[in-house]
Structure 1
Amino acid sequence: MRFKHYILFPFFVLLFFISCKNKKEDHVIRFHDHRVDSLLSDTTHISFIVDSLKHSVLNAQNDTMQISFLNELTQNWRGLPNKIFATEAIHYCTLINYSTGLCDAQARLAIYHLRSGEFEKADSLLNISIKSSATLNNKTLLAQALFFKGECFRVSNKADSTLSCYIKALDIAEKKNLKKRQAICLNAIADYYRNSKSDTSLLLLKRAVRISEAEKDYNTLSYAQGLIARIYTSREMYDSSNMILKKSIEGAIKCGNNYFASHQLLQLGDNLRLNSYFPEALNAYFHALKLIESSAIKSEVPLLLSGIAEVYRFTPDYDKAIEYNLKAIDEARSLKQVRVESFALANLGEIYKHKNEIEKALRYYFAALEVAQANGFVDREAFCLSVIGAAYRVKGDEKNTKEFILKAIRLNDELKDNNHVSFCYMILGKLYKQKNNPVEAQKYLEKALDHAKQSGIIQNICDISYELYQLYEGNNNPAKALKMHLLYVSTKDSIVNEGQIKNVAEAEYKLKEDNLITVQGEKERIFRIEKELKEEELKRQKIIRYAFTTGFILVLILAFVIYRNLVDNRKKNKIISLQKAEVEKQKHLIEERQKEVMDSITYAKRLQDAILPSRAQLSANLPEAFLLYLPKDIVAGDFYWTHEIKNSGTESGNARLILVAAADCTGHGVPGAMVSVVCSNALNRAVIEFGITNPGKILDKTCELVVETFEKSGEDVKDGMDISLALINTETREIKWSGANNPLWYLSHNEIHEITADKQPIGKSDYSRPFTTHTIQLKKGDSVYLFTDGFADQFGGPIGKKFKYKPLKELLLAIASLTPEEQKQKLEFAFNEWKGNLEQVDDVSMVGVRV
């Protein structure tokens, strides 16, 4: 019986191919509007989604499926096809009395009218769709129609009605578990709150991202990521914004939404341009223009051309900047984008100002101001006022400069625009500098620098720091002049240099080369497809003509082998895919866990650094001191400590009592760091809270507090620390010292002396006794050293042995004549040279003080 199946299989396969051929030749779909046939049969690539939906419409198995695909195609193919397909779907549904499809098509046609600015038509169709979907009790269509109604209200600037429709649509989507519609509604509500409640907006968008990722709805996911990026940009978090934008662009391109990808590329280009990454910005703009070529929507073109012009203005390449600005103005006027027109006109003024053609610059500035005021663009009006004032300043017209700049400052303060407030103050500073009024010039330039730093715009910081540098130098203030000059040089280098200009040229060349390669590749692809189609057609005809005459046995064997291999390959591919997915999943989990651990440890380091006294505090207490602090890991078990005891009146008026310590807690890394927090806190309490100044008593109280802390857990915890603690009288040079396991070394008469510590730790021990306080009288130039055992215990050298204490003493004696900072450098160099490529075995801490 099985053998008979194998014999009949190729016969049925052959009949299927022949019937498919005849069916394809005989079946021609005819629509009411001939343009539908024309658009569907056109093989021009639009996008992955549109191409797939065109194929689905043509190959639908029944009328209702064909209408469903036609409705989806209506929304995804923007422009005139949107209207053509929606109208055809309405005609088709009316013809076959398909109410559900008609309700859907009416909502889709409303979107076309909404995008075309025909709000009354859109509103009328949506009201019909909402009523019909309610009558049909179709919650999916009702949620869709309510959402589109919200979009209609949004474009009409009816905020309350907008939010109400969005929330109603979301409520229905949640009750019916319509995940994709939930994500779309969340995006819309988040966009509504984006400027007024950005934190709420972020929470909604992150929820939309989770849903879209789970549903693999890359279009909605990309849109959500784009909104998150815009919030980050508004907060001047450019790195985070750019990272999210790149994900959004990748998702938009992946789902064939070239229009949205170009929109996101425009925002990415603007971010990069504002932070002086000019070659990268140029790549983003040109990439967006390339994507727009395959889209019917050209609304982003003027902004892209204007952005490219801005890059060329700052590189600088004024001829290209003028060329692209003029293109931007023409495109903006043809699309009636008056805001972009104002922007491009002002940019032309900026270019001519840099070319020192002030009258021509003012002509373009006033043209831009006129457009901004006529259309209520307050931010553009403020910008135009500021650049007009700047131009009058170049002309030496003090009256007009002050008039326009003060108007600009007032508007920019209302807008809270630190960038342009900074620019205005800089212009006033330059004006007073030009009028030989250095006091007023310094006041306004310093204000300008403060606002520039708040805005984070590098170009303004560069310009203002240069002006202040010149002003301070002229006022014989070398320290401030040097500081401003260093700031100017560092910012200037980051804005433009020969390398960036070369990179821009390389970016242009690469773009042209990529375009040529793309065109050539497309030609080759078309040629291959045509060749393959011809070969396939010849092969198919040959099979039909000679199938039975070439031998039934050959066909049987071939079909059997193909079938068996196909089954085997599918099984193998399925196993491989499952294994690969599991490996990727485990890899991703491991990477996430590792990142979480490293982030936690890094944050722990920040906390530990905050607990430790700053090096500035150590330097302030003991100017003639050095600190060698080399943690083994990111966080350490070693810590250093210092505290100044206020003069109680018993000492000389000039005497300062400074406590300083080097401590080694049990363990290193994270466990050691946790113990160090407990011990450091106990040390602070003993001195600050209990007012103890005697080193031995301090250690007694610290030991008591540490034991008390660890006993709270109920566990037998014997962790603690070894410490060397000294009280230094800076006037009398008397040292009081006490130690737990760690000794004190002091250098006097060109010889290192050692005071042995009590052989017990700070913490729970079997033989606890009070700590001993030793008193030493030193003379000027003598030194004391407090340290942990990390330096002496480090393995290294030619044969990998410990450094030990005797060589350490010899090293300290050899470098004793150097300054404390030089001693630190010598010690660190000696440690690293001894350690070589071996692992550091313990934390290293050493404090050296010259009295």
Structure 2
Amino acid sequence: MYKYFVLLGVLLLFPWKQLLATEDSLIKVWENPKNHDTLRFEAYKNYIWETYMFTNPDTALVLSKELYDLAEKKAISKYMVAALNHQAVAYSILGQTDQSLVLYAQSLSLAMENHNEIGAGVIYSNMGVIYTDRGAYKEAAENYFKALKIFEKKKDITRIGRLYNNLGVLYNSQKIYHLAIKYYEESLKIKETLKDPKEIGGAYLNLGAVYGNLKESEKAKTYYEQAYFYLKKAKDLVGLGNYYLNIGQLYDKSGEYNKSLNSYLRALELFTQVNDVVKITMTEIYLGGNYNKLEEKDLALMHLVSGIEKAKQYQVQSMEMIAAQELYLVFDKAQDYEKALTYLDLYHQIKDSLNSAKNQEAALNMKYQHEYDKKAIMDSLEFARIQGLNILEIEEQKAALAKARTQQIAMYGGIVLLLGLGLVMYRSYRTKKKAHDIINKQHQLLAQTHQEIKESIDYAKRLQNTILPNDLTLLEHFPNHFVLFKPKDVVSGDFYWFEYIKEKDLRIVAVADCTGHGVPGAMVSLVCATALNRSVNELGISDPGLILDMTRKLIIETFTKRKQYLRDGMDITICCLDANNLCAYSGASNSLWHFSKKAFDQRNESALTEHRVDKHSVGWTETLKPFKTQTIQLGSGDYIYLQTDGFVDQFGGPKNKKFKKKPLKEYLLSITTRDPLTQKELLLQKFNNWKGSEEQVDDVCMMGIKV
């Protein structure tokens, strides 16, 4: 379902804006020192929210932490609250909902201290989203209605519309469909007056979901069509991911499993691109169930096991329950009844837990009350016993005290000796403590250094993500494609690249392998991608060979200092497709693979052809030879495959050898009748099975495009 985090964001000085920001009106407002602080903060707040929160939550989190520091220095409590909310939302998208709730508690306290009612309402609403995901419906409702009371008091129509939407999600989750429809329709009315395509698309999407649950499939499809129109107009990747997930469930229920499979795979790509871990979890679980219905046991298990582990990690009990049920069905079908029973028991445990949440809470309160009453009674009995001591007992106590005095005198000598020994031990302790403190400081320094390195690598990843093409853009120009991108480390020396030249109706796509991997490789990839962009966008080159010639020139200029020539560069395959599917291509070391549907249908052994390219790299060499451009006329149903060498060079298998090209070609030929996204799934499974427990040796990047 399509849920909204509603918050007042905060703005901050963005020290890397030349790399990550665009020439946007919001940025200009922030950069103008003549503007009032409130105006500047509000503008940058909206920029962070709209640009990063749902497409790059890691970046949003980093900015929000700095944002809080800036707001605190200026003592602007409203924006301190907003900064904490930003962080909480980012953590929630990243699946760390416990941390989100901690931050919401802090921001709620701060909002109330400063009489920030709207801020408090936003926090209540966002907490309601988390509790809904967790299946804690009572807590979700309490928070939502607290928020609604505030928004109605303030007559905040926009937030009321979003809150109605969230209430619809809550009631839909509990299968109270008439209330879900009521709130979704009220939300839609408000959003239509605001004319925001993203908001309107979300409302239509949720109405489609509830009618899908009511098995009114035609009505659901009508709403989904409306949703797709608005979400595509808004270029809302998360919303489109939700669309594919929901329409996939509709196809799934009607038994159209191939259609649902394609929808789930498309949803998974979109959610992966924006790193929405909760939605990735949901999609993997539905995808696993879909594969089971298609008799693909291995793929079903791969996604279901991954999904149930993530559901536990992110505390999404409702999805853990569905995953357990699907795993039961997989093992039951495979006649592995022991494992089937294990997952069936887990399914019922979670289901009972979700259904009896209120009873559990009442029982817990009764338990606490019972323990309180019991303690009160015990305290009263103890008091009565003390008051009932008679004179004889008092005399006995006096005699005992006299005896104790005698024993104390005898003890003094021993105490003196113990003090001497204690002094020696204390000095030894001080020496050890100093050494321990030094070790602790070293550990803290190492931990701090490790954290700084991790943050630097995470930032490098965010920078690298900026050079990768948007999945929605690729989907628009290549409706049938896949990208298998599996870095060896957090960041990659491999990358894929795309550019569309509207004036000539040309689609240019490339897959590249830069010198090194990890952070060094990622740094080189930024230089190489920038050079490709300049060659095409600034210099207007569209011929693949000439693009590589110019890109090499720009790379050499970048890496050449004081007449010292660095050999850093890249191996690459680059293709340019026109409107008639004439494919002009060039490359450095990495060949282009072409699958001919016509040859395959004729059972021709050359259905999958490797088209070789130049062997020299796009970088400095002693002899700078020009890159050749060649052409292939592609037919309907043909594929082109662009790849780096990471897949074929991977060690594994029974003899721990490289995978190599020939087995990969044979495997590709065996799966070319499958749709592109299924090919990606099968290739990923093949790679992981081959690798086994071995370390991944290099980055892996492969793109398949169907004409």
> TM-score, with normalisation over the residues of structure 2?
0.55
Assess, with a 3 A threshold, how the Cα gap between structure 1 residues 449 and 519 changes in structure 2: closer, same or farther: farther
Contact 1:445 1:468 in 2 (8 A): no
Aligned amino acid, residue 705 of structure 2: V
**d(CA) in 2 for partners of 1:448 and 1:493?**
34
Q: CA shift at 1:629, angstroms?
A: 1.5
> Aligned equivalents of 2:448 and 2:502: distance in 1?
50
The secondary structure found in structure 2 opposite 1:839 is coil
Q: Determine whether 1:687 maps to 2:687.
A: no
State whether structure 2 residue 510 is matched by structure 1 residue 666.
no
Query: CA deviation digits over 1:437-457, x for unaligned, max 9?
Result: 999968525459999x99xxx
Instruction: Report the 3-state secondary structure (helix = DSSP H, G, I; strand = E; otherwise coil) of the residue aligned with 2:420.
Output: helix
CA distance in 1, matches of 2:166, 2:683: 50
**SS state of the match for residue 605, structure 1?**
helix
Alignment deviations for residues 629-684 of structure 1 (CA, whole Å, 9 cap, x no partner):
11111211101112223354xxxxxxx53222110000111111111111011111
AA partner of residue 500 (structure 1): A
- State the AA in 2 paired with 1:745: W
Structure-to-structure mapping, 1:736-775, within 5 angstroms: 736-748=584-596, 749=599, 750=604, 751=606, 752-775=608-631
Contact 1:707 1:764 in 2 (8 A): yes
Matches of 2:661 and 2:593, distance apart in 1: 11
SS in 1 for 2:476: helix
Match 1:833 to one of 675, 689, 698: 689
Distance across 2 between alignment mates of 1:824 and 1:474: 30
Q: Measure, in 1, the Cα distance between the counterparts of 2:206 and 2:426.
A: 65
- Equivalent position amino acid for 1:444 in 2: K
What SS is found at the alignment partner of 1:611?
coil
CA contact (8 A) 1:632 1:843 kept: yes
Secondary structure of 2:466's partner? helix
Counterpart amino acid of residue 772 in structure 1: K
Deviations 1:481-529 (A, max 9, x none): 6979999x999969x94253254235425534664687699899999x9
Q: Could you tell me which residue of structure 2 aligns to residue 444 of structure 1?
A: 189
* Distance change >3 Å, CA 228–CA 834, structure 1 → 2: same
Aligned to 2:445: 589
Alignment of 1:679-758 (within 5 A): 679-712=528-561, 715-731=564-580, 733-748=581-596, 749=599, 750=604, 751=606, 752-758=608-614
Q: Which residue of the partner structure matches residue 159 of structure 2? A: 418
Partner residue of 1:846 out of 687, 698, 702: 702
Please report how far the alpha carbon of residue 792 of structure 1 lies from its aligned counterpart in structure 2 after TM superposition. 0.6
Task: Tell me the equivalent position of 1:243.
Answer: 102
- Residue 539 of structure 1: how far off its partner (Å): 7.4
1:10-49 equivalences under 5 Å are: none
Cα deviation 1:263-301 (Å, max 9, x = unaligned)? xxx99997997556499999xxxxxxxxxxxxxxxxxxx
Deviation string, structure 1 residues 222-281 (Cα, Å, up to 9, x no partner): xx9x996798469986976743588999xxxxxxxxxxxxxxxx9999799755649999
Aligned to 2:434: 578
Residue 221 (structure 2) aligned to one of 471, 475, 478: 478
For the residues of structure 2 that align with 1:703 and 1:787, how far apart are their CA atoms?
20
Question: Separation in 1 of the partners of 2:427 and 2:107?
Answer: 35
Q: Which amino acid aligns with 1:203?
A: K
**Per-residue Cα deviation, 1:369-424 (whole angstroms, up to 9, x for no partner):** xxxxxxxxxx99x949xxxxxxxxxxxxxxxxxxxxxxx96x624x6882489559
Indicate yes or no: 2:311 matched with 1:566: no
Q: Pick one of 403, 412, 432 that aligns with 1:542.
A: 403
Question: Aligned equivalents of 2:433 and 2:396: distance in 1?
Answer: 32
Distance across 2 between alignment mates of 1:424 and 1:778: 47
Matches within 5 A, 1:298-317: 314=141
Aligned CA-pair RMSD: 5.8
**TM-score normalised by L of structure 1:** 0.46
Report if aligned partners of 1:242, 1:268 keep a CA contact under 8 Å in 2. Answer: no
Write the letter of the residue equivalent to 2:560.
Answer: E
- Give the whole-Å Cα distance in 2 for the aligned partners of 1:700 and 1:625: 28
Aligned-pair CA distance for 1:803: 0.4
Equivalent residues of 1:425, 1:445 under 8 A apart: no
Question: Aligned ranges for residues 312-711 of structure 1 at < 5 Å?
Answer: 314=141, 383=149, 412-413=154-155, 418-419=159-160, 444=189, 446=191, 476=219, 478-480=221-223, 497-505=354-362, 507-509=364-366, 511-512=368-369, 515=372, 541-542=402-403, 544-545=405-406, 556=413, 558-646=414-502, 648=504, 656-711=505-560
Structure 1 residue 686, shift from structure 2 partner = 0.9
Q: Provide Cα deviations, 1:593-629, integer angstroms capped at 9, x if missing partner.
A: 2223222322322222221112232232223332221
Instruction: Give the distance between the partners of 1:572 and 1:850, measured in 2 at CA.
Output: 75
- State whether structure 2 residue 677 is matched by structure 1 residue 821: yes
Distance change (3 Å), C-alpha of 1:579 and 1:507: farther
Q: In the TM superposition, what whole-angstrom CA distance separates every residue of 1:132-172 from its partner, at most 9, and x where no partner exists?
A: xxxxxxxxxxxxxxxxxxxxxxxxxxxxxxxxxxxxxxxxx
Paired residue for 1:112? none
User: Is the contact between residue 412 and residue 421 of structure 1 (CA under 8 Å) also seen in structure 2?
Assistant: no
Matches within 5 A, 1:79-118: none
Q: How does 1:276-315 map to 2 (within 5 A)?
A: 277=131, 314=141
Amino acid at match of 1:412: K
d(CA) in 2 for partners of 1:755, 1:463: 48
Q: Distance in 1 between matches of 2:378 and 2:444?
A: 36
CA 1:463 to 1:493, structure 2 compared with 1: closer, same or farther past 3 Å?
farther
| Aligned CA distance change for structure 1 residues 697 and 518 (closer, same or farther; 3 Å) | farther
Q: Percent identity between the aligned chains?
A: 32
Which structure is higher in RCO with an 8 Å CA cutoff and minimum separation 6? 2
Report the AA paired with residue 781 of structure 1. G
Contact 1:268 1:281 in 2 (8 A): no
**1:805 partnered with 2:664:** no
* Counterpart-to-counterpart distance in 2, 1:772 and 1:735: 14
Structure with higher Rg: it is 1
Q: Is the 8 A contact 2:572 2:644 kept in 1?
A: yes
Paired letter, 1:243:
V
CA pair 229-443 structure 1, distance change in 2 beyond 3 A: closer
Query: Which residue among 641, 647, 659 is the counterpart of 1:785?
Result: 641
Indicate if the aligned counterparts of 2:72 and 2:80 stay in contact, CA closer than 8 A: yes
Partners in 1 of 2:531 and 2:572 — Cα distance? Answer: 13
Assess, with a 3 A threshold, how the Cα gap between structure 1 residues 521 and 607 changes in structure 2: closer, same or farther: farther
2:72 matched residue in structure 1? 202
Matched residues, number:
482
State the Cα distance separating 1:564 from its structure 2 match. 2.1
Q: Residue 235 and residue 672 in structure 1: after superposition, are their counterparts in 2 closer, same or farther (change >3 A)?
A: closer
| C-alpha distance in structure 2 between counterparts of 1:448 and 1:841, whole Å | 55
Q: Distance in 2 between matches of 1:684 and 1:586?
A: 45
Kept after mapping to 2: 8 A contact 1:630/1:845: yes
SS of alignment partner, residue 584 of structure 2? strand
2: CA distance, partners of 1:503 / 1:272: 24
Supply the distance in 2 between the matched residues of 1:424 and 1:836 (Cα, whole angstroms).
Answer: 45
Q: Is the 8 A contact 1:412 1:420 kept in 2?
A: no
DSSP-derived class of the 1:746 partner: strand
Deviation track 1:708-766 (CA, whole Å, cap 9, x = no partner) reads 111247654221100011222341x4322211111222234241322322121111112
Inter-CA distance 243–522: structure 2 relative to 1 (3 Å threshold):
farther
Q: SS where residue 634 of structure 1 aligns?
A: coil
